[in-house]
Amino acid sequence: MKSVRDFDVSGKKVMVRVDYNVPMDDHGNITDDNRIRATLPLIGYLIEKKAAIILISHMGRPDGGPVPALSLAPVAQCLGTLAGHEVLFAPDCLGRDVEAKVAALAPGQILLLENLRFHKGEKKNDPDFAKALADLCDIYVNEAFAVSHRKEASVVGIPSFAKSCAPGFLLEKEMQSYRDAMENPRHPLAAVIGGAKVSSKLNALLNMLNVVDSLIIGGAMANTFLKSKGINIGASMVEDDLLDAARDILAKAEKRGIPLLLPVDLIFASALDGGAERRTVKIGKEDVPDGWMALDIGEDTMKLFSDEIKKAGTIVWNGPMGVFEMEAFCEGTMAVARAVAGADGAFSIVGGGDTALAAKVCGVADRVGYISTGGGAFLHLMEGKELPGVAALEYM
């Protein structure tokens, strides 16, 4: 697979699929510009090399029609400020007006097209829609790791019609970081998996058993594993239809000699409320009050997990240990975050989404090896699957 650095982009129309699906408040102000900042190195490189830059992205879920609140116009303004460079904006992503703006685009200029999902062809991976976009450029670059697990026109369709295509700097970095962690790790390799549901990470857990040296499971998903062992976890969130699947994972880990760590104590509360009454319960040794739910791991579990993490040469962390958004239940996630950041000599990779947010909230974002920009795409890789967006570039 060629790198964008392998192409002479001078004077060429370079279309870059970015992920500018950023959060905005009711007044159209962008509240988190990290996804925009992540694309600045590539944009700066293309400006320096005198490319004419066409940026494409989606925003939200407009269901195939224009929704003013989901316009990318505010993103154009934000990007211009961050890049210190004028960003032109097209009020559509196809049509004669867009074609005229692209034709007039000079080397070093930037044009952001309107939300791709204002057209049904994007989600449907319509070949006519993909070809029309591809016809606008000389080179297509995928810089949107976070959507590379989706089979949409701008991700897998355009490469089928583009004259040339390549991964961007961010996509290359994402893939290399994952390969360093999972395909060529420094052992021991420890995976720390949390979050709400086993169902969303079942395939990832099964795949992890093929590569990890130890597996740590926390968050609400640990409740299902504990209940599968006959342990009372009160009114905590449980996926009863996956109790057998949890038992199967536990058995496979035991058979393969892989330590699988579950919470030994949990913080239970009478309600999902930061001000609710709460107490620490030693799992399997103390009774859980009727109607109470587990919302964080306890101190003994924090130490157990942290000690295991500190032994690792490579750490993959995906998912918080509790309801970390509430101060009353954030200590477990904080402890894991500190352990990951403080593991001497270890390479750590943090999954996107809630885990990336947790790393930021816990103040360790600058002390881990790499933080992924894509939760869904990262999980897709953890399942051992190929990313369609990357495969589309590789098979060109």
In a domain? residue 305? yes
Residue 243's pLDDT is 96
Residue 115's pLDDT is 98
In a domain? residue 394? no
In a domain? residue 202? yes
Residue 121's pLDDT is 98
3-state secondary structure of 322: coil
Total count of domains within the chain: 2
Question: Do 88 and 228 share a domain, yes or no?
Answer: no
Residue 26's pLDDT is 86
pLDDT in tens, 214-242: 999 999 999 999 999 999 999 999 999 99
Reported pTM: 0.90
Domain closes at, from 141, 167, 193: 167
Q: Where residue 155 sits, what CATH number does that domain have?
A: 3.40.50.1260
The pLDDT of residue 119 is above 80: yes
Residue 317's pLDDT is 95
d(CA 166, CA 16): 10
Residue 272 structure tokens: 């999902």
Question: Do 162 and 181 share a domain, yes or no?
Answer: no
Question: Is the backbone peptide bond immediately before 188 cis, with ω within 30 degrees of 0?
Answer: yes
Q: Which amino acid, 329?
A: F
pLDDT in tens, 183-211: 899 999 999 999 988 999 999 999 999 99
Residue 206's pLDDT is 94
Question: Do 124 and 270 share a domain, yes or no?
Answer: no
Question: Do 155 and 189 share a domain, yes or no?
Answer: no
- Comparing C-alpha atoms, which of 331, 322, 327, 317 is closest to residue 367? 317
The pLDDT of residue 213 is above 80: yes
* Residue 201 near residue 318, CB atoms below 8 Å: yes
Residue 140 structure tokens: 């297509």
Active-site residue 124, yes or no? no
How far from the centroid of its chain's Cα atoms is residue 280's Cα?
A: 32
Residue 394's pLDDT is 82
Residue 170's pLDDT is 95
Question: Do 223 and 127 share a domain, yes or no?
Answer: no
- Comparing C-alpha atoms, which of 150, 153, 103, 151 is closest to residue 128? 153
The pLDDT of residue 1 is above 80: no
Question: Do 158 and 190 share a domain, yes or no?
Answer: no
Q: Which of 12, 13, 17, 35 is catalytic?
A: 35
Q: How distant, in Å, are the alpha carbons of 192, 203, 233, 328, 368 from that of 342? A: 15, 29, 31, 23, 8
pLDDT in tens, 34-83: 899 999 999 999 999 999 999 999 999 998 899 999 999 999 999 999 99
Question: What would the DSSP string read from start to end of 160-181?
Answer: HH-SEEEE-HHHHHHHHHHHHH
pLDDT in tens, 134-151: 999 999 999 999 999 999
Question: Do 52 and 191 share a domain, yes or no?
Answer: no
How far from the centroid of its chain's Cα atoms is residue 246's Cα?
A: 24
Question: Do 302 and 345 share a domain, yes or no?
Answer: yes
Q: Which of 50, 131, 173, 197 is catalytic?
A: 197
d(CA 151, CA 147): 9
Residues of the chain above pLDDT 90, percent: 89
List Cβ<8 Å contacts ≥24 apart for 382-387: 382/182, 382/201, 382/204, 382/207, 382/208, 382/316, 382/318, 382/351, 383/203, 383/204, 383/207, 384/203, 384/207, 384/210, 385/149, 387/145, 387/148, 387/149
d(CA 38, CA 143): 9
The pLDDT of residue 396 is above 60: no
In a domain? residue 376? yes
Residue 134 structure tokens: 């591809």
Q: Which of 194, 195, 353, 375 is catalytic?
A: 353
Q: Which of 360, 376, 384, 385 is catalytic?
A: 376
Domain closes at, from 132, 151, 167: 167
Question: Do 341 and 223 share a domain, yes or no?
Answer: yes
Active-site residue 338, yes or no? no
The pLDDT of residue 367 is above 60: yes
Domain closes at, from 114, 141, 167: 167
- Helical ranges in 21-157 per DSSP H: 34-37, 40-48, 73-83, 96-103, 120-123, 127-134
In a domain? residue 293? yes
Residue 25 structure tokens: 């408040």
- Comparing C-alpha atoms, which of 118, 366, 317 is closest to residue 204? 317
Question: Do 182 and 306 share a domain, yes or no?
Answer: yes
Q: Which pLDDT band holds residue 354 (cuts at 50, 70, 90)?
A: confident
3-state secondary structure of 392: helix
Q: Which pLDDT band holds residue 374 (cuts at 50, 70, 90)?
A: confident
The pLDDT of residue 395 is above 80: no
Domain extent, residue 350, equals 175-382
Active-site residue 291, yes or no? no
In a domain? residue 387? no
* Residue 150 near residue 389, CB atoms below 8 Å: yes
Question: Do 186 and 158 share a domain, yes or no?
Answer: no
In a domain? residue 392? no
Question: Do 157 and 249 share a domain, yes or no?
Answer: no
Strand ranges, E, within the chain: 13-17, 52-56, 87-90, 110-113, 139-142, 164-167, 189-193, 214-217, 260-261, 265-269, 278-282, 293-297, 314-318, 347-350, 370-371
d(CA 382, CA 80): 35
- Comparing C-alpha atoms, which of 123, 126, 129 is closest to residue 98? 129
| Mean pLDDT value across the chain | 95
Active-site residue 151, yes or no? no
Residue 156 structure tokens: 């897998």
pLDDT in tens, 242-268: 999 999 999 999 999 999 999 999 999
In a domain? residue 24? yes
pLDDT in tens, 18-46: 999 999 998 889 998 989 999 999 999 99
The pLDDT of residue 383 is above 70: yes
pLDDT in tens, 312-353: 999 999 999 999 999 999 999 999 999 999 998 999 999 878
